[in-house]
C-alpha cells in the first residue's frame, strides 16, 4: 500500500542537506513528489511530500529521526488520502507596499473570515530604490469555497489595501 508523508526539515544552511535527505528517501524506495525549500536567516528549511510503499515506513521514520545527530531536524506526518482536499476555485493574490507590523495577519484574517484557505504564501522584504525604505511583498495562492461572494471579498481586500497603504490584488485563477 502506498502512503504519503509530509516532512518538515530545519538545519543550519550547509552543502549536502538536500542530498542527505533525498538519499534516505531513495534508499527506502520513496519518491520525492513535491517540495518547498528555502534559506531563511542562515537556516535551511523545507517541506517535502514523499510517496512510499508502507512496508518501508518504519525504516524511513528511523533514518529521518537519526538525522538529528547530524543537525538536520526532520518532523514527519503520514497523510491519508481522505485528508487531501480538492476545491473548485483557486486564486492568486499579491500585496506590495510599505512594511509594517500586521500585514500578513490582516490579509490572512480577511481570508479566514471568508472561508478561504491560504495554500501558498511567499513574502519578501526589500528596499525602495532611492529612499531605502522597507517594502513588503507577498504572493500566494488561496482556495475558496464554491459559494464565495467575490464582490464581498474584493470589497474587503480594497478596505485592507486602503488601511495599510498596499497594492492588493486577488484574481480568480482556476475553476473546475
Share of the chain above pLDDT 90, in %: 76
- Tens-place pLDDT, residues 151-160: 888 898 999 9
* 120-135: pLDDT as tens digits: 999 999 998 888 899 9
Are 76 and 119 found together in one domain? no
> CB count, 10 Å around CB of 21?
24
CA pair distance 138, 140, nearest whole angstrom: 7
Q: What is the DSSP letter of 30?
A: -
Which is more confidently placed, 56 or 148? Answer: 56
Are residue 96 and residue 28 in the same domain, yes or no? Answer: no
Residue 83 has pLDDT above 80, yes or no: no
Is the pLDDT at 85 greater than 80? The verdict is no
Specify whether the CB–CB gap between 75 and 6 falls below 8 A. Answer: no
What's the gap between Cα 3 and its chain centre?
21
In percent, the amount of the chain with pLDDT more than 70 equals 94
**Do the beta carbons of residue 53 and residue 2 sit within 8 Å?**
yes
N-to-C CA span, the chain: 29
Q: Over the chain, what is the mean pLDDT? A: 91
Shared domain for 75 and 117, answered yes or no, is no
For the stretch 28-53, pLDDT in tens is 999 999 999 999 999 999 999 999 99
CATH of the domain at 59: 3.30.70.260
Q: Residue 137: exposed, middle, or buried by beta-carbon count in 10 A (0-12, 13-18, 19+)?
A: middle
pLDDT score, position 84? 56
Q: What is the pLDDT of residues 161-176, one digit of tens each?
A: 999 899 999 998 855 4
Please give the residue range of the domain that contains residue 160.
89-175
Please tell me whether residues 112 and 145 are part of one structural domain.
yes
Query: Which residue is it, cell 478596505?
Result: 159
User: Which among 56, 58, 67 is positioned nearest to 28, based on CA atoms?
Assistant: 56
Instruction: Examine the domain organization and report whether 62 and 102 are in the same domain.
Output: no
Q: Which of these three, 55, 83, 111, is where a domain ends? A: 83
Last residue of a domain, one of 38, 65, 83: 83
Domain count for the chain, please give it. Answer: 2
Give the residue from 64, 83, 102 where a domain finishes: 83
Amino acid at each position: 500500500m502506498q502512503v504519503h508523508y509530509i516532512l518538515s526539515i530545519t538545519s543550519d544552511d550547509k552543502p549536502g542537506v538536500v542530498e542527505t535527505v533525498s538519499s534516505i528517501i531513495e534508499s527506502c524506495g520513496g519518491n520525492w513528489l513535491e517540495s518547498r525549500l528555502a534559506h531563511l536567516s542562515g537556516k535551511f528549511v523545507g517541506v517535502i511530500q514523499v510517496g512510499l510503499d508502507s512496508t518501508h515506513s518504519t525504516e524511513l521514520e528511523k533514518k529521518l529521526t537519526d538525522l538529528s545527530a547530524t543537525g538536520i531536524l526532520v518532523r514527519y506526518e503520514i497523510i491519508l488520502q481522505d485528508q487531501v482536499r480538492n476545491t473548485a476555485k483557486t486564486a492568486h493574490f499579491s500585496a506590495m507596499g510599505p512594511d509594517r507590523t500586521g500585514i500578513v495577519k490582516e490579509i490572512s484574517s480577511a481570508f479566514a473570515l471568508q472561508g478561504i484557505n491560504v495554500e501558498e504564501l511567499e513574502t519578501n522584504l526589500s528596499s525602495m530604490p532611492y529612499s531605502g525604505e522597507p517594502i513588503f511583498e507577498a504572493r500566494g495562492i488561496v482556495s475558496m469555497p464554491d459559494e464565495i461572494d467575490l464582490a464581498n471579498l474584493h470589497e474587503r481586500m480594497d478596505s485592507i489595501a486602503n488601511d495599510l497603504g498596499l497594492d492588493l490584488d486577488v484574481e480568480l485563477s482556476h475553476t473546475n
